[in-house]
Amino acid sequence: MKNIKDYNLDELKQELLSLGEKPFRAEQIFKWLYQEQVKEFDEMTNLSLELREKLKQNYTICNFQILKKQESTDGTKKYLFDVLDGNAIETVLMQYHHGKTICVSSQIGCKMGCKFCASTGIAFIRNLTAGEIVEQVLAVQQDIGENISNIVFMGIGEPFDNYEEVMKAVRIFNHPKGLNIGARHISISTSGIVPRIYDFAKEELQCTLSISLHATNNEKRSQMMPVNNAYPIEELMQACKDYIKKTNKRISFEYALAKENNDNLEDAKELVNLLKGMLCHVNLIPINKIENGQFVKSSNEAIFRFRDYLNDHGIVATIRRELGSDIDAACGQLRRNHVK
């Protein structure tokens, strides 16, 4: 049976029509699912008993169970959810000054093989459905007893490798009758799947696009991120420039600093040359040390020097605050520790 959370509002209206019901029932169901956040069709008390029976016969409501939860002293919470088919996914709740942010996964495993990523040791199993992406947020909200204000697609998986379901989930998050989270509070991070960047520019969504850049030339980037072999930096940058031109939106470039790999001043100079004149921001990430990983975190001195060089040369750069460093903080670590 299909998970009813896999439908956006228009699709749900079509489903209701096919059941011989009025389409406005879809709006009532949406409200029960995302505003009241009920777990059973029987809780949808303004629907007739007959309609509730029809819904039970045709759909399920996917409700994740928490398999494991870790809490950091800084307020970060990391969840491992049972997605009900024997697989598990990770979701992270982070506490920033501007509010609570949930980092969602978009796939079970990942195909991209970034060398600095804890998920790299986990084989790709399947895409998550839109409903499974949305359920991550609902399940965390239910656990903490409050609604959150920001969502980032930076968990396990490459969101643009699961483009349709991710876009559908974004629209459920954003819809006033869905979770009603402003698109400006939703950020999608890609390792650089160029054709999807062009598609995303046409979506007319106000979400933030983040690009995992991490290196400034093809040789170094291909070593860190095999996706660069398919979509080299020149093509990636052209897609980013076209995206900015079409949307007039700032891109956030993620740059994970690894000691003596991409953190020296030569790298900073190349980064300035690459991004000069672009409407962008650079997010510097002290790399997480991962088990068997080949990268080591840069020294604080190198991180500050890198940031200052960028800022002094007209590129706005900030250092991402490290959260959850006392728990399994890198994406994929909780799941990896669970499955091994």
The kind and range of the H/E element at 262 are none
CB atoms within 10 A of CB 208: 19
290 binds ligand SF4 (CB under 6 A): no
Q: Which helix (H) or strand (E) holds 128?
A: none
Binder of ligand SF4 out of 158, 254, 267, 328 (CB under 6 A): 158
By beta-carbon proximity to ligand SF4, the closer residue of 156 and 170 is: 156
Q: Is residue 228 within the footprint of ligand SF4 (CB under 6 A)? A: no
Based on CB atoms, which residue is closest to ligand SF4, 156 or 211?
156
Report how far residue 213's alpha carbon sits from residue 225's, in angstroms, rounded to the nearest whole number.
9
Q: Determine phi and psi for 330, rounding to 5 degrees.
A: -70, 150
Residue closer to ligand SF4 by CB (options 6, 254) is 254
Q: Tokens 């920033």: give the residue.
A: 96
331 is catalytic: yes
Q: Which two tokens stand for residue 223?
A: 């070593």
Nearer to ligand SF4, 47 or 287 (CB): 287
Subset of residues 93 to 122 that bind ligand SF4, contact rule: CB under 6 A: 110, 112-114, 117, 119-120
Query: Which amino acid, residue 264?
Result: N
How are beta strands 208-212 and 88-96 bridged, if at all?
unpaired
- Count of CB atoms situated within 10 Å of the CB of 202: 10
Question: Considering beta carbons, is residue 115 or 177 the nearer one to ligand SF4?
Answer: 115
The DSSP bridge partners found for residue 208 are: 187
Closest distance to ligand SF4 from the beta carbon of 337 (Å): 16
Contact pick of 88, 128, 156, 287 for ligand SF4 (by CB under 6 A): 156
* Minimum separation from the CB atom of position 122 to ligand SF4 (A): 9
Asked if 71 is an active-site residue, the reply is: no
Stretch that binds ligand SF4, among 95-103, 150-158, 269-277, 303-311 (CB under 6 A): 150-158
Give strand pairing partners of 211: 190, 253
Instruction: Name which of residues 178 to 217 contact ligand SF4 (CB under 6 A).
Output: 191
| Cβ pair 212, 189 in contact under 8 A | yes
Closest contact distance (angstroms) between CB of 156 and ligand SF4 is 5
* Smallest gap from residue 117 Cβ to ligand SF4 (A): 3
Which amino acid would we find at residue 150? Answer: N
Cβ pair 283, 254 in contact under 8 A: yes
The minimum distance between CB 191 and ligand SF4, in angstroms, equals 4
Distance in angstroms (rounded) separating the CA atoms of residues 44 and 46? 6
208 alpha carbon, distance to own chain's centre: 11
Distinct helix (H) and strand (E) counts, the chain: 12, 14
Contact between 257 and ligand SF4 (CB under 6 A)? no
- Which residue, among 45, 57, 53, 46, has the nearest Cα to 2 in the 3D structure? 57
Select 51 or 156, whichever has its Cβ closest to ligand SF4. 156
**For ligand SF4, the closer CB: 110 or 151:** 110
Under rule CB under 6 A, how many of the chain's residues touch ligand SF4? 12
The verdict on 128 binding ligand SF4 (CB under 6 A) reads no
Read off φ and ψ for residue 183, nearest 5 degrees: -60, -30
One of 21, 90, 132, 135 is an active-site residue; which one? 90
Per-residue binding string, ligand SF4, 24-53, x by CB under 6 A, is ------------------------------
Chain residues that interact with ligand SF4, rule: CB under 6 A: 110, 112-114, 117, 119-120, 156-158, 191, 331
Active-site annotation, residues: 90, 331
